[in-house]
Amino acid sequence: MATANHNLSEYDKTAIPDASNFRFGIVVSEWNDTITEGLYKGAYDALIENGVDEHNIKRWNVPGSFELIYGSKKMQEQMVDAVIAIGCVIQGETKHFDFVCEGVTQGIKDLNVINDVPVIFCVLTDNNQQQSIDRSGGIHGNKGTEAAVAAIKMADLRNNS
């Protein structure tokens, strides 16, 4: 397990670029909302903790993880420095899980290749709900925190390259 010996919420705050002038968009899936709200809280709190003004954080909700692609594409047009796409897909009894995970992964990858505003992949793709709970503020920390740190670093790269 990749997160067994790593807390997703831990990072070296001294290694984070100044984020006080950056604007961020966060697109949140409403599906599995107990998980995605935890991820959002982790991302939001980490951005605030690193100097981002709350007025420079724009949130949009979309129905499910598959819709994160379109929501993120439209958010890239909102004069933000980075977008965080937050979702949660939990393995079920059908192949739906595979199709959604593949589509969202490729869609977000495509947005990063085609457009200039980075989109950070904060979509949990877990085998069961407990794994998602553990990664959205539970025993493994919060993937949302990790995504916010990545967003700050990518916004800095975008603005300084």
Known active-site residue 96:
yes
Specify which residues 159 forms β-bridges with: none
Contact (CB, 8 A) for 29 and 59: no
Cβ neighbours for 24, distance < 8 A, ≥ 6 positions apart:
47, 52, 56, 57, 58, 80, 81, 82, 83, 84, 148, 151, 155
On whether the CB atoms of residues 78 and 46 are closer than 8 A, the answer is no
101: annotated binding-site residue?
Answer: no
Given 6, 55, 96, 140, the catalytic residue: 96
- 122 labelled ligand-binding: no
Annotated ligand binding at 67? The verdict is yes
Question: Which secondary structure element, helix H or strand E, spans residue 155, and what is its range?
Answer: helix 143-160
Is 149 part of any known ligand binding site?
Answer: no
65 is in an annotated binding site: yes
Closest among 85, 92, 83 to 118, alpha carbons compared? 83
Is 24 labelled a binding residue? Answer: no
135 labeled binding residue: yes
The token pair at 138 is 């539970």
10 marked as part of a ligand binding site:
no
| Beta strand residue intervals within the chain, DSSP E | 24-29, 57-62, 82-90, 119-126, 136-138, 141-142
Binding residues for (2S)-2-hydroxy-3-oxobutyl phosphate: 93-94, 135
Binding residues for 5-amino-6-(D-ribitylamino)uracil: 31, 65-67, 88-90, 121
By annotation, the residues acting in catalysis are 96
